[in-house]
Amino acid sequence: MSLIDRYLFRQLLGPTLLATAALSAVAVLSQSLSALGILVDQRQSALVFAKIVLLAMPQLIVVILPIAGLVAALMAMNRLHTEQEIIICFAGGMSRWGVIAPAMRLAAVMTLISLVLTLWIQPWSYRRLRDTLETVRADLVTSMIKPGEFTHPAPGLTVYAQTVDDEGAIHNLFINRDTGNGRDSTITAREGQLQRRGGAPVLLMRHGASQEFSSAGVLNFLSFDEYIFDLRPLMALDRAVRYKLSDRYPHELFFPDARQEWERDNINKMLAEGHSRLATPLYNIAFMAMALAAVIGGAFSRMGYGARIAAVAAAALVARTLGFAVQAAAGAHPDLNVVQYLVPILATLISAMVLFGRRTAPLRAPPLGVTNTPLGRPA
């Protein structure tokens, strides 16, 4: 790689990293707001909250990278072209491909990163995210007791607590059990505490009463100073985690298990997701080519390239939206999966036609006070 190649590569790499960081920060903020309920409602620690946010980031980065490359290329190439540094490169004998090659190499690196993220890191992180969320939901402290709310942690079981203090003490507790045979029981207590006895989870209730109708329809009332409510039946409930399409590895998407009913019923959606994983990284190359076509593909202008940049930004939005629409349609019509690849490929080919379909703009002498240095900057 020559000196000018390295210079052009650095001019693109810096804005790309900056744009990626800025868009990732926005994505983290958005993800944090959606996960805030886990921290507040489920009373989880900040560490669990941060883990959930970070595990959701790989998929967001895959979407962010092409946009960051587009924004960075438009900014960097517009500045280089406006300051006539691109004209100096052409004047020095560089071909059009030689000028855009550093940008395309950067796009290729971004494509490889996106491919690794979408094929392996995303399903790995989403599986950890799904397991973490299921662990949070299975937490007896958070699933059973929500101050001021009636909860139903198990079929036929209703739990209410007025308050829970910082030490985990539960105040004014109400539990109703519906057995389905007309023998409902209700337990109330002024205080309660979740504990473990003999390795089993129990709810220790103090200063309360139990009411239950017998088979003869007689109400049995019993007051107690201390009562132990066994929670082991709740722990025995089936809490199997079902992984979504975004949680599955490529081989699971392209080769579904026909023995499982859910996979048989959703085979088209799985194929659409698998092809989307392979097609999405191509938008890095497509958006980079579109940015280069917007700046270098037209005639030189001292007034800037605002109109062409706006047109390319709109075209990129249309292309990405079309890609999402085709993915959704391919879930019902698998023949459309090929179109998922055609959208970014056609965008790249059209940009290449704009870039190479016209002759290089006539070279102009540098303005007064500017020497013909390799980068065309004032002496």
Highest mean pLDDT among 7-11, 110-114, 188-192: 110-114
Measure the CA–CA gap between 97 and 82, rounded to whole angstroms.
19
Both structure tokens of 138: 């299975």
Q: List the single range of 8-12, 83-87, 333-337, 369-373 with lowest mean pLDDT.
A: 369-373
Both structure tokens of 87: 């004209």
**C-beta of residue 70 within 8 angstroms of C-beta of residue 291:** yes
**C-beta of residue 309 within 8 angstroms of C-beta of residue 109:** no
**pLDDT recorded at residue 365:** 43
Q: pLDDT-derived band of residue 362, with 50, 70 and 90 as boundaries?
A: very low
3-state secondary structure of 185: strand
Highest mean pLDDT among 196-210, 285-299, 346-360: 285-299
Q: Is the pLDDT of residue 288 over 90?
A: yes
**C-beta of residue 168 within 8 angstroms of C-beta of residue 145:** no
Q: Is the pLDDT of residue 218 over 90?
A: no
Q: Is the pLDDT of residue 373 over 50?
A: no
Question: Per DSSP, what are the bridge partners of residue 211?
Answer: 186, 221
Q: Is the pLDDT of residue 356 over 80?
A: yes
Residues 6+ apart with CB under 8 A from 174: 158, 159, 160, 161, 186, 187, 188
Q: What is the mean pLDDT of residues 295-308?
A: 75
**Which pTM was predicted?**
0.75
Q: pLDDT-derived band of residue 43, with 50, 70 and 90 as boundaries?
A: low
Of residues 140 and 362, which shows the higher confidence score? 140
Question: Per DSSP, what are the bridge partners of residue 212?
Answer: 185, 220
